[in-house]
Amino acid sequence: MSKDAILGAIRRGLRRGPLPYDQDLALRVRLERHPRHPIPARSKVARPAQIALFQRNVEKEFGTVLRVADAAAVPAAVARYLAAQNLPSALAIAPHPELQAMPWGEHPLIALREGRAQASDAVSLQHGYAGIAETGTLMLPSAAERPTTLNILSETEIVVLRASRIVGAYEEAWDLLRAELAAPAGGMLPRNVMLVTGPSRSADIESVLELGAHGPRRLHIILIEDDPAALG
């Protein structure tokens, strides 16, 4: 259904006629140009500081970050993390080409199952689309190669993210998504875009913080140092 059809249905439901010309024009201009609200100054820093800000904010929200030199080092990093946390070596993994190309065969004790997560999966491995430095947030759009269930069902989620995919502010992450995913698809955004800041948690009951309330209890990010400007 087109945007005009959706807005028309809403107006009919509210028993309203078409918008006046000036209001309709202002609405269309806003939708097409994506105007900026004030962006926090803390994210407008040099690349090394931006990457460091992302890591600090992830850790502030009870996540963990491990930096590795390249993609080939990811399987060993996953194996060490699983052992350190006393986690099973079987995990659901996103069927993303970048993850598939990693040397998993060098670690035969890790058992991979590609595709959607199941309720019985203790650990999932997701491909990170982008990171947002101002809050330490991951942007995870849904796709066949990036199943959303990997972000929800497992007790522990591991996300592989490239340092070159970290941006300063939310607006920059949405710009990236529109340019890379929406524009080639004729302006259609992914059906689901999850913004994940740390592991799931809640303090609704007696103000006691409980991790894993609505999703993963642990969030571990393996950050590939592929951005020369971020190395300082």
Q: Considering only the top CATH level, what class is 45-231?
A: alpha beta
Q: Which two tokens stand for residue 81?
A: 């993390």
**DSSP-H helix ranges across 61-126:** 74-84, 97-100
The predicted model gives 218-229 an average pLDDT of: 94
pLDDT per residue as tens digits for the range 23-35: 877 777 776 777 7
- Residues 6 or more apart whose Cβ sits within 8 Å of residue 66: 77, 81, 220, 221, 222, 223
Cα separation of 41 and 180, whole Å? 26
DSSP-assigned beta bridge partners for residue 158? 125, 220
Give me the amino acid identity at 225.
Answer: E
Predicted pLDDT of residue 223: 98
d(CA 184, CA 202): 38
pLDDT, tens digit (0-9, with 9 covering 90-100), for 166-206: 999 999 999 999 999 988 888 888 999 999 998 865 555 55
Residue 209 has pLDDT above 70, yes or no: no
The count of other CB atoms within 10 Å of the CB of residue 27 is 12
Give the pLDDT of residue 27. Answer: 74
Mean pLDDT of 14-28: 79
Domain ranges, ordered by start, for the chain: 1-33, 45-231
pTM for this predicted structure: 0.84
Q: What is the mean pLDDT of residues 151-155?
A: 94
Q: Quick one: tokens of 93?
A: 């993994």
Residues 6 or more apart in contact with residue 44 via CB below 8 angstroms: 168, 169
